[in-house]
Structure 1
């Protein structure tokens, strides 16, 4: 799936450019809503049924494709963002937009937590590389195996330990702080030990209900997509959280975009239920690394010099598998981290746009 960028433009921007008056009539609103719904539906449809077949659920390429979907949806959402004129006619829009601002703040914290979590995964990869290098030594000696064993012990702890005090925390902010500087680490100076990514997800879902009118529908759709993506990131990457909710969103299955989004939630939910892992860390590459790491640890514990040839051949296959995982993660984690930062910056910009619209309505 090719990444959606602003250079590609927006299929709604042309429509908006032809509207002379800011007072968009009801028919135009419905048309734009239909375009936006179809766009979200198509992006998720391509994501869940790609050609050629997709990458494993929660793998790095799979996560990157999901972020491409989010970026594409966010680009189009800007074109259907309610105007000041619409808000003045429909006061309830101010409420749903204010609630979206709060969700964006929580999403910014989650993005920070995920970026820091990816750093911890990089550390795990380095430990795996130490073990691989040691076990590739030939002839295999006791010293090399001991080095590998120490690295593997640290690796397995890093993959299984509860994550505490690692990521940036929450906090509240007044809506109209347009001059505030937003960047990674900006909100991390006062980290609360009670901050939890899972609690942030639960708070984001609390007031997220299907609206009755069409005016608030784009905000609801984009909020749902945002919460879904943040939840997936929390499940995949080690974050400051005690647990990951299985299925946080109640999405409208009777709508095509909702049905496709539910498909994603159910797939990830199965992984969450099946692994019972605390603090996230369900990334497919991490799961493979843990499995191979356990096998290699068993080998180091029973190794006696000189090792048996058959046993060394068997462990060589596992070492090659771990080496392949490390190579994939070396590039993939950098790309994923860069993409999460891009999502962060987009959230900052859309937040400022919403604040601007609300301020003009005062």
Structure 2
């Protein structure tokens, strides 16, 4: 995103220069201008994501044939695809850098002790801590997706042989069954969770259910305990998002033209990014995620974000009852093709008819393409999530340093 980077650099240089030199314009007017520019950049960046998003993610029930616009979609990332999330995280990092410049650079720290910042800043710091938990959960979720990709690759390798025999089909079927079993939510477990009013551990997500009675099942699913993430049973990604958005209210009256507005904007961007990641990547307990996050429609800068949110909510509602492991576009395609190949394996007879062989070859190539995209994109995506994590930590530390300075200034000097 070169244009975005150039705008960000220009914006940061502008603030730095103007706040360190004498200017004729009043400080208040300068601040208003900076705030307006920040809002414009947020709107422009999310408008760019919305305009370059290639439609909705693939419906698993749809046909496998390529659409006429496939060439165009190869240049514009589909909604909730790996490349789409990489753009989203880049956008977050750019917005966060500009926000920090508006909030911190050349700022008198005593302003943080005055209304409304005296309440908004602690809320922002608390929201940041919750976002760090989400980043950790998503990082482990991406690791799980990488494991699924390796299982799919086993099936691809087996079925790409020149002659497909029973041995290759059995190997592919075993890998794909392991993949699908680990992706499916145990609906009975969900029902028990809802009836008893508490969350339970998800076998598809972190595979941590123990007991000698599950030994055979562990072997069938490839024993996913090595991918487990130590987290409390009651931890819920959906509840974490809900807690992040609980105190999120748009500034009113005079507060809408002060520092309260960029704090609200950045908090909204943070919640939206974390919400999107949780919707797409396997995370523990996401029930009701679509109802936890609302952005006021009257805010101009929020319109493209609302447009993206509506698309994601639409996809979530379509798949919420199907027990899928996440809305990541590549995962949706992988699940569909894997199920189709398992059906083929169940009815396999040697020798394979020429027409059936051609059909299977097309599906195997589609699965191979998904594996290639995951192989190329998942590690960089995981690194970006970690970069977001470390950026949040650093920015939070800088704000805490400023608050510490205020505390020292207000401490009486002993004589």
TM-score by length of 1: 0.87
1:1-362 aligned within 5 A: 1-2=1-2, 9-20=9-20, 25-50=27-52, 54-81=76-103, 83=107, 84-88=109-113, 90-161=114-185, 163=202, 166=206, 191-212=231-252, 213=255, 214-276=258-320, 278=323, 281-362=326-407
Q: Deviations over 1:114-138 (max 9, x none)?
A: 1110010011001101111111123
Contact 2:15 2:102 survives alignment (8 Å): no
SS at match of 1:9: helix
User: For residue 174 of structure 1, what is the aligned residue in structure 2?
Assistant: none
Q: Deviations over 1:301-338 (max 9, x none)?
A: 00022222221111111001101110111011111111
Of 322-331 and 301-310, more deviation after overlay is shown by 301-310
Change (3 A) 1:45 1:12: same
In structure 2, C-alpha distance between the alignment counterparts of 1:206 and 1:314, rounded to whole Å: 50
Of 55-64 and 225-234, more deviation after overlay is shown by 55-64
Pairwise CA distance, 1:6? 9.9
Contact 1:241 1:279 survives alignment (8 Å): no
Structure 1 portions without partners, runs of 5+: 168-187
Change (3 A) 1:217 1:280: farther
SS at match of 1:227: helix
Contact 2:160 2:364 survives alignment (8 Å): yes
Q: Deviations over 1:226-251 (max 9, x none)?
A: 00000000011001124251153322
Change (3 A) 1:265 1:7: closer
In structure 2, C-alpha distance between the alignment counterparts of 1:258 and 1:267, rounded to whole Å: 15
Root-mean-square deviation (Å): 2.5
In structure 2, C-alpha distance between the alignment counterparts of 1:41 and 1:315, rounded to whole Å: 45
Contact 1:253 1:262 survives alignment (8 Å): yes
In structure 2, C-alpha distance between the alignment counterparts of 1:99 and 1:301, rounded to whole Å: 55
Pairwise CA distance, 1:70? 0.5
SS at match of 2:15: helix
Structure 2 portions without partners, runs of 5+: 54-71, 187-201, 208-227, 408-415
User: For residue 183 of structure 1, what is the aligned residue in structure 2?
Assistant: none
SS at match of 2:123: helix
| Structure with a larger share of its residues in helix | 2
TM-score by length of 2: 0.76
Change (3 A) 1:348 1:5: farther
Between Structure 1 and Structure 2, how many residues are aligned?
Answer: 340
Contact 1:114 1:237 survives alignment (8 Å): yes
Q: Deviations over 1:266-313 (max 9, x none)?
A: 111111111115585110000000000011000000002222222111
In structure 2, C-alpha distance between the alignment counterparts of 1:123 and 1:132, rounded to whole Å: 14
